[in-house]
């Protein structure tokens, strides 16, 4: 507002990175990391790269497309744990944990992961590594291909749920309330739920996660059921 239209703005400021896909991606990634996907609007991104919202559409078709690229960048940072030290199964488990952690570091991104079919390089790199590990484990290729999908779905879903549970700014969705709701269950209608209230609402997220990974990898190793 102080300076009027600021003439020849582009030429006067050669320091400005000139607006590129990469600059937009980097800015979005930083914003997502610190605020979460749903608190990042296109106006915020535009402001971060010193432009208006309309300009972003020259580089990305839509907000969703932009977020898919951000997601793939995050996939690219996942630690691909090697089979060498503790065997393929432990390595695969560790890779899944790393995937979940990467998604949780960028709140809301997991929702994007569940809603899109992965085709970008970061996701392919992750799939390749998982296939490698399962090959070493002697999992038949057909099963392994299906498992890649199941694992990705599980990792994303876990990250989404976690976000809902920790519930930073959300309304009263705190775990304590859920715990109370289960304990207050009518013992006649829902005897098992009532009896297992504590176990069903156990807040130890790590234990839940490790249990799930163990179930999935264990089931994968078994021969197909007759």
Contact 76/121 with Cβ under 8 angstroms?
A: yes
CA distance 48 to 26: 10
Pick one of DNA, a second copy, none as the site partner of residue 55 (Cβ within 5 to 8 A by kind): DNA
26, 44, 50, 135: which one binds a second copy (CB under 8 A): 135
CA distance 178 to 198: 10
Range 95-114, binding a second copy (CB under 8 A): 111, 114
Go through the chain and tell me how many residues it has.
226
Coil, strand or helix: which one is 94?
A: helix
Q: How many residues bind DNA (CB under 7 A)?
A: 21
CA distance 185 to 189: 8
Pick one of a second copy, DNA, none as the site partner of residue 80 (Cβ within 5 to 8 A by kind): none
Q: Within 13 Å and on the Cβ side, how many CA atoms surround 17?
A: 13
Range 9-48, binding DNA (CB under 7 A): 9-11, 19, 40-44
5, 6, 10, 225: which one binds a second copy (CB under 8 A): 225
Contact 79/95 with Cβ under 8 angstroms?
A: yes
Q: Which string of x and - marks every residue 160-189 that binds a second copy (by CB under 8 A)?
A: xx-xxx-----x-x-x-xx--xx--x---x
Sequence-separated (6 or more) residues with CB below 8 Å from residue 42 = 53, 56, 63
CA distance 224 to 226: 6
62 contacts DNA (rule: CB under 7 A)? yes
Q: Shortest distance, CB of residue 7 to a second copy, whole angstroms?
A: 39
Pick one of DNA, a second copy, none as the site partner of residue 58 (Cβ within 5 to 8 A by kind): DNA
Pick one of a second copy, DNA, none as the site partner of residue 166 (Cβ within 5 to 8 A by kind): none
150 contacts DNA (rule: CB under 7 A)? no
Contact 28/45 with Cβ under 8 angstroms?
A: yes
212 contacts a second copy (rule: CB under 8 A)? yes
63, 136, 143, 194: which one binds DNA (CB under 7 A): 63
Q: Within 13 Å and on the Cβ side, how many CA atoms surround 212?
A: 16
DSSP structure class, residue 225:
P
54 contacts DNA (rule: CB under 7 A)? yes
Stretch that binds a second copy, among 1-9, 13-21, 70-78, 208-216 (CB under 8 A): 208-216
198 contacts DNA (rule: CB under 7 A)? no
């Amino acid at each position: 507002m102080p300076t009027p239209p600021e003439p020849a703005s582009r030429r006067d400021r050669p320091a400005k990175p000139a607006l590129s896909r990469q600059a937009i991606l980097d800015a979005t990634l930083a914003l997502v990391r610190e605020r979460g996907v749903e608190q990042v609007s296109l106006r915020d991104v535009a402001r971060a790269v010193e432009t208006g919202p309309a300009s972003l559409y020259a580089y990305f078709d839509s907000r969703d497309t932009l977020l898919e690229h951000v997601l793939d960048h995050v996939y690219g940072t996942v630690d691909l744990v090697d089979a060498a030290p503790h065997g393929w199964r432990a390595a695969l488990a560790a890779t899944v944990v790393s995937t979940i952690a990467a998604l949780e570091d960028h709140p809301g991104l997991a929702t994007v992961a569940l809603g899109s079919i992965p085709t970008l390089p970061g996701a392919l790199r992750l799939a390749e590594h998982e296939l490698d590990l399962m090959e070493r484990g002697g999992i038949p290729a057909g099963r392994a291909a299906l498992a890649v999908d199941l694992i990705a779905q599980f990792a994303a879903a876990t990250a989404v749920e976690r976000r809902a549970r920790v519930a930073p700014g959300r309304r009263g969705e705190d775990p304590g309330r859920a715990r109370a709701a289960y304990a207050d269950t009518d013992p006649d209608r829902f005897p098992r739920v009532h009896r297992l209230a504590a176990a069903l609402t156990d807040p130890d997220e790590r234990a839940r996660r490790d249990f799930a990974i163990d179930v999935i990898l264990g089931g994968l190793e078994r021969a197909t059921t007759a």
